[in-house]
Structure formats: structure tokens, C-alpha cells
Amino acid sequence: MSAPGSVVLGLIVPGLPHPLLAPDASPHWRRIRDAYDQAAARVRQAVEQDGADLLVLYSTQWMSVIGHQVQADPQPVWTHVDPEFHALGSMSYKLRMDADYAAAYAAAARARGLSCRTVAWPGFPIDTGTVVALSLLNPDNRLPATTTSCNMYADRGETVVLAKAARDAIVQGGRRAIAVAVTSLSARMHTRPVAPADDHLSSPKDEEWNQKLLEILSEGRLEDVAQLARTVAHQAHADQKMKAIWWLSALMDQGNRLRGTVHGYGPLWGTGAALVSLAPAATEHGQHEFDEDGVERFLGDAEVLQAPTARAPGGAPGAPAMERGLGRAGPSEVPPSVHVPAPARATAPARPSSAIPTGAIHTDTAPRPVGAYPHARRVGDLLYLSGVGPRQPGTDAIPGGPIRDAQGNPLSYDIVAQTRACIENVRRILEAAGSSLDRVLDVTAFLVDMDRDFAGYNQVYGEVFASVGATRTTLAVRALPTPIAVELKVIAAAGDVDVQKLATGG
Amino acid sequence: MSPTPAQSGQPAQPGTIVAGFLAPHPPHLVYAENPPQNEPRSEGGWEVLRWGYEQVRQRLESLAFDTIVVHSPHWKTVTGHHLLGVPRFRSLSVDPIFPNLFRYHYDLSVDVELAEAIAAEGADAGLVTELMRNPDFRVDYGTIVSCHLARPQWDRPIVGISSNRAYFSFSNEVGEQEMLALGRATRRAIERTGRRAVLLASNSLSHRHFTSEPAVPEDMTAEHPYSHNQYRWDMHVIELMRKGRCRQLLDEMPDFIEQATSECKDGSLTWLLGALGVPDYPATVHAYGTVIGTGNAVVEWLPPDPAPGVAAPGVAAPSVNAVGGAA
């Protein structure tokens, strides 16, 4: 049995419908179906031996624009038809989703600075990749699942942070998860029909890169593959820039400490379809110094399109589409009078005043106060929060456990979990007041055991607040009113205030 | 439902394209209108674009037509151009990107005979075409939004054409040639079947989105072009349309696609221009506005010499509008 709060298995699986709908129409599709069946057996093994209790998917076929979306309908039902391969038939499904985990996943993503929401509308069009993967890996709905969209603009940083949010929720819920990247290796499909029996990789270059990637994956070197993503995307037809691999590796600790098994590989309508399982291992392959390191928090759009280095029609300066390397113009083309916009903004823009509460602020989304005080009070441009602990709204449960029992006997507790819950409560109160974590100006932290807890508290604090730049004071105190180890006192800018003007007195 | 001239054999006279529209598909516009088919409710928003679509609706009231052919960026296919090939579809369309705004119950009929004719003409021109015959198929939301906004009565059959990925699989230039060929094939099929067809190209212009939306999606204080560059490109392209310089527009289209992240990369507008024979007459711009940062224009091409019987009895043509000149 694996430890709770861990990813017990990772899978890479293809999302085209052929192995589900027409496995026997082609020996190539049959091979992929057989590999899918092996992967499904591996899932059952993870349930029985490791106690796996959740499937978390990321599908390159579910595109999103407004941040990321997480599926939270407990039982989505539909008869789905693929927009391209409708002639292969229909896919009727009744899936089992874990709405609580999905909500925790989305909340953790927001806590890390991402835009993220759950979706649970009846009839929501679940993508082919998710339907195929869940139908073949989890045909009896033995495990609850959820699936995540692939944001069309997200690059590595955003995708890595998303995966870490998925992991936060796994840890928070004490789950034993199987992470599934629904993605092709190479993704170029045939542009003209081919007979199923004659299916083949649509590009020799794709085939070459697929083989390289499979060789590395078979050694369990998932992060090595993730580090290659940009190169592969330049040289071959990577599926959505290999975002799913970034996501999977970040969810599995961004290392190579894995055992890889390639269950099968072959063409699916010109794409490179591979089924690979990756299990945690005791040893790591080599000592690696990665070119691209981990990212803990999303700092907002890079606003690369605002850089004044390209031209609108007619030769006037404008903003280019630089993110994809489009339309770049040399520095000599930039006229001296071009407006240079402010650097990427970590602070959310000010909201209209009409939407912002004033005076004393109470909210049901935060733990109830233990005395006669509001959660926050607005005075002028500032929000003053009462001391915020880790207790959970509604239940008063303490993530990471209480520091003492009812008789006052000390208990073991997790300062990391308590600190995370504290910050989440701060976020809830700020959002109820129309503000946000990135508008925090000053933090006073109270710890009951500085020697024991400072490192864990400081690590979590840095994940969230390093980019915010708030001032901070940390104090050791003898006790707090409830059996908790940490409490935060926060001052933040109100949501309708321009933080930069506030800073300059403008 | 109006009868289709070619349903009983050869048409009495060649068919024609009676009008073509650039008819973008932001689901926000349907959400803002609060039609009974859509589940979410709104307080309005994006009025200028919706007023533009009112002009389209009035124009269609003044035209005698029997089918609507729509090319949609949100039915994406790689292996060829696919066409709806089932007589009727009735289901729920939920936008996978903006499910909070668009959950629309649709009931539409398809002009299968014209779809088959377009597929055949396309194949004769060397294109890969395929009829979509699966009755469980869910019609893409781009098709539904454009058709609703242009003709909310749903009283004409439609032909739905997918957006082939030739631009993405090869290059903008290759994609453009592919879509022009499909447009010409569409025109030939309309003429051969005797249809009086209205064409809808369901793409926006500049297309970089904001990646967040306001708490109230219709909060218009948050709406503006994504960038000055996108806006400048949109105005340039619209000006070419207004002056009837569509050949130049096609010449510049690959640059527009790259520089303005244009949704024209999905081919709808180029298909329309191909079907219209690359118009050298002025278009009427009914509206321009942004939706979550993307540039959207509602534009009409009325061929100068349509076949007799253009105006339906007792229906006035739309009035002059403020943006695009005389209608």
C-alpha cells in the first residue's frame, strides 16, 4: 500500500477513438488496443497493491481559453461522436467523476495564481480523449476520476503550476492517485484518407523523435522527456507542445526516479500513439541539472503581445504575436517614440467600486470567528484581516491535525498543511472582500513553535507570497486560541484600488 | 420550411448566392440576447455587434432564399472537408470553452442534397470531402451561434461545413488555396442544384483572447481589443472589405493571420470570398466589436446582379447604418 497523498502511477495514453471503436479494422489499431488493455491491467494492479483511489487526467483534446477547467459533474452521461472520426461510430458513456477532488484541484490552482474553474453542466462535451481513456482504463468506473483541460495559450510554467495544484489536492485529500496524460507523441494526422491496414506515421521525422522519446521513457526518465519538449515541438509535430508531458512530470515530482514500461506503440491515423506506464522507483537515473527548473506559482500572462517590436499594417508600430515567434521585427524597426508598457503585472487589476464590500466583512467561506470580530474590515483603501488560522469552514477541522488533544496532551501535526490551510482561508476572506492574495501588503505570522515549524511554514509561505512582495514579521507565541500552530494577520489593498498608485501616493 | 427548387430533379434556373456574410460566432452574443433556447441568463452586453446582427436579420427578411450554408471554425477536421449529411439534428450544445454562457437547445434541418452536391464538386476539384452521416453527432457551437444570430427562426435548412486544418497542416498559403477551391466548389454546387443560398463565414478577425473574464461576463468595462496591433489590423482588413479590395485582402491574409492571430486561419472568410468570386464591390460593415479581446465584424456582401426576385413582397431593405455606409 502506497502512502496517502501520493501519485502511485503515471500513464501516457493516446486519445484517438480507433482502439475503442474499431480495434480490429487494422493490425496497428489492434496493437494499440492490446497495449491499452495492458495499461488497464496495470491500473487494476495499482488499485489492489497500492490502494489507488483516483484517476486524474489531462487531455490535449479539451482546449480552454479562460485558464483551465476541471470536470466536476459526478456522473456525466452522453452519446459522444468524434468530430473527425464520426464514421467509426458513437461512444455512449456514463462516467464517475470525483467532484470533491475536482473542487480541491481547482481551488489549489487558484491558490497558486492560476485561473481555474470546475465545470459540471449536464451535457458538457467531454472530449474524445477523456472518453476513450476512461472507457478503456476504467471500464467499470471502479475509480472516480476527473479530467483537466489544455489551455491553448499556456506554456510550461502555467502547465507545471497546474500539475502542482493537482498534487496539492492529492496531498490535501490523502489520495492515492493515478495520473493520466491523454496525448499522442507526434500528432500529425493524415490529410488524405488511407486504408486502416495501411496506417503509418505521417512523418519520418515524427517517427524518429517518437522512438527517441520511448527509449528515454522506458528508462523512467520522464523529466528528461519534459525537458526535451521545446526541441521536439520545433523538430516534429508534438501534441500541443507536449504540455501533457510537462503536466505529468510535474505531478510526479519533476524527476527521473521512475520505472518506465512501454506497453505498445504504433500509428493511429498518422499520429504516434504510445502507452507508457511510469511507477515510482527507489533510485534515479543519473544526476541531472535540468535547463528548466520547477515553477511554484503562476505570475500571470507574460503579456508578450504588448512588446512594441512588430508592426501593424501600414508600418505603424503595434503589438506583435510574439508568443509563437510570429511577426517579430528587428530592434532597428522600433521607432523611438513607441510606448513601452509596464512589465508583466502580478497584481490583479482594480475592480469597479460598486462590486466591492465596505466596512465590516463577514463570510461563510472562511472559518467562523471565535470571538466578537469580523473576518475583515475595510478602512480607506486598505483591508485589515483578523487573525486567520487553518481551521476549515463549516467543520473547524484542522488540516495537518491539532497540536494537542482535548486533555492538552501534545500531538504530532503537519505545519505545511496548517500553513497552506491558513493561506487558503486568507484567500477566501480576501476574495469575499473583493480583493485577492496578490494584493497583500503586510503579513504578521504567529508560530507556537518557532524551532520546529519555521522551515515548513517558510517554505509554503514562499510558494505563495514570494512573487507578491509583501512585508512580513514572524513571531513565536506561547499559544493560540484553538489547537493550531500558526496564524496569519494580513493587511491588503482593497480590490478597487490601483496598487501602484497606492504605493506612490498617486 | 421553404421548398427547395432542386428537390424534384433539375432546377428550372441556375441557383445563385443571394448574399454572403462574415458572421462570427462568439457565444457571448447569444448569451447577451437571452433567447429561450439558451439556458444562462444575462443582463445584455456587446450591443453594437448584436445591432449589426439585427441588420443581417432584416436583410434576410428582404431576400428570397431557401438555404443557409455555414462554414464553422469550431468543427475542426484534418482529413478533408466534412459536411453535415443527416436531415435533422436536435440536441443540446454546450460550449466547451464558455459553458457558463452557452448551453443552447437546437433543432435544425439540413439541406443534405446541397451538402452532397458541394462534396461532389469539391471532390471533382481534387479536394477530400466527406459527408457526416452519424445521427448522434452534436453540431458544433460555432455553426449554431452564427445561424441563430443571422436567422433565429431556424426556418431554413442549413449546410454545415467543417474547418479543414490545411493552414495548420501545411501553410497559410496552401490553406488559402484550399479554401478558395472549396468556395468555388460551393458556388458550383449551388448553381447546379438551383438553390438560392445565403452564405455565412463564421470566423472572427483578430483572435487573441483574454485568458480571464470578469465576474459578470457582460461587464462591458472589461471589453476592449486585446492589443492595439490587433485593432489596427482589423481596421485595415475591414477597410479593404469596404472598398471592395478583396483580392488585396487575400494577398495580405497570410500576414494578417500571423500578425493578428486571426481566426481567418480557420478558413471561413477565404471560403466565402472564393464562393463570391473574390468580390471587387464594396461590402457593408454592419458592426465591429470585441469579444473577450477578439475582433469581430459583421459584414455583408450583396452580389450586384442577383437573379430576379431578390426582394420579398412587402419587406423593406435595411436602413443605412452608421458604420458601413449605405446598405
Consecutive H or E run containing A317: strand A317-318
Cβ–Cβ of A312/B208 closer than 8 Å? no
Please identify among residues 129-168 of chain A the ones whose CB lies closer than 8 Å to any CB of chain B. Answer: 149, 151, 153
ipTM of predicted assembly, 2 dp: 0.89
Tens-digit pLDDT profile for residues A286-297: 666 788 877 888
- Among A65, A87, A321, the residue with its CB nearest the CB of B97 is A65
pTM: 0.75
Tens-digit pLDDT profile for chain A (506 aa)?
Answer: 888 899 999 999 999 999 999 999 999 999 999 999 999 999 999 999 999 999 999 999 999 999 999 999 999 999 999 999 999 999 999 999 999 999 999 999 999 999 999 999 999 999 999 999 999 999 999 999 999 999 999 999 999 999 999 999 999 999 999 999 999 999 999 999 999 999 999 999 999 999 999 999 999 999 999 999 999 999 999 999 999 999 999 999 888 889 999 999 999 999 999 999 999 998 777 666 788 877 888 877 655 444 444 446 655 444 333 232 222 233 222 222 223 233 333 445 555 554 566 678 888 888 888 888 889 998 888 999 999 999 988 888 899 889 988 888 888 899 999 999 999 999 999 988 889 998 999 999 999 999 999 989 998 898 888 888 899 999 999 999 889 999 999 999 988 888 777 766 65
Chain A residue whose CA is closest to B237: A313
Rounded to whole angstroms, how far apart are CA atoms A34 and A446?
57
How far is B307 from chain A, CA to nearest CA, in Å? 36
**DSSP letters along B75-107, please?**
EEESSSEEEE-SSEEEEEEE-SS-TTT-EEEEE
Please provide the distance, in angstroms rounded to a whole number, between the alpha carbons at the two ends of chain B: 27
Cβ–Cβ of A321/B228 closer than 8 Å? no
A84–chain B Cβ distance below 8 A for any pair: yes
Q: Which pLDDT does position B314 carry in this prediction? A: 33
Tens-digit pLDDT profile for residues B269-321: 999 999 999 999 999 999 999 999 999 999 999 998 654 444 433 333 333 33
A86–chain B Cβ distance below 8 A for any pair: yes
> Which parts of A105-167 are beta strand (E)?
116-119, 145-151
A193–chain B Cβ distance below 8 A for any pair: yes
* Nearest CA-CA partner of B226 in B259, B267, B268: B259
DSSP for residue B38: B
Cβ–Cβ of A81/B137 closer than 8 Å? yes
Cβ–Cβ of B232/A313 closer than 8 Å? yes
How far is B170 from chain A, CA to nearest CA, in Å? 10
Rounded to whole angstroms, how far apart are CA atoms B194 and B15?
3
Measured between beta carbons, the chain B residues lying within 8 angstroms of A86 are 82, 132-134, 137
A115–chain B Cβ distance below 8 A for any pair: yes
Mutation site for B-interface testing, chosen from A16, A59, A63, A66 by largest number of B Cβ within 10 Å: A66
Assess contact for B79 and A189: CB atoms under 8 A.
Answer: yes
Rounded to whole angstroms, how far apart are CA atoms A54 and A48?
13
Please identify among residues 351-390 of chain A the ones whose CB lies closer than 8 Å to any CB of chain B. Answer: 351-352, 355
Rounded to whole angstroms, how far apart are CA atoms B57 and B327?
13
List, by residue range, all CATH 3.30.1330.40 domains of chain A. Answer: 310-504
Chains A & B: contacts with CB separation below 8 Å? 144
Written out in words, the top-level CATH class of the domain with range A310-504 is: alpha beta
Cβ–Cβ of B97/A64 closer than 8 Å? yes
- Among A125, A127, A310, the residue with its CB nearest the CB of B229 is A310
Q: Which pLDDT does position A233 carry in this prediction? A: 93
Please identify among residues 221-260 of chain A the ones whose CB lies closer than 8 Å to any CB of chain B. Answer: none
A62–chain B Cβ distance below 8 A for any pair: yes
Q: What is the CATH number of domain A6-280?
A: 3.40.830.10
Assess contact for B260 and A305: CB atoms under 8 A.
Answer: no
Q: Which three three-digit cell numbers place residue A82?
A: 468524434
- Among A86, A149, A151, the residue with its CB nearest the CB of B137 is A86
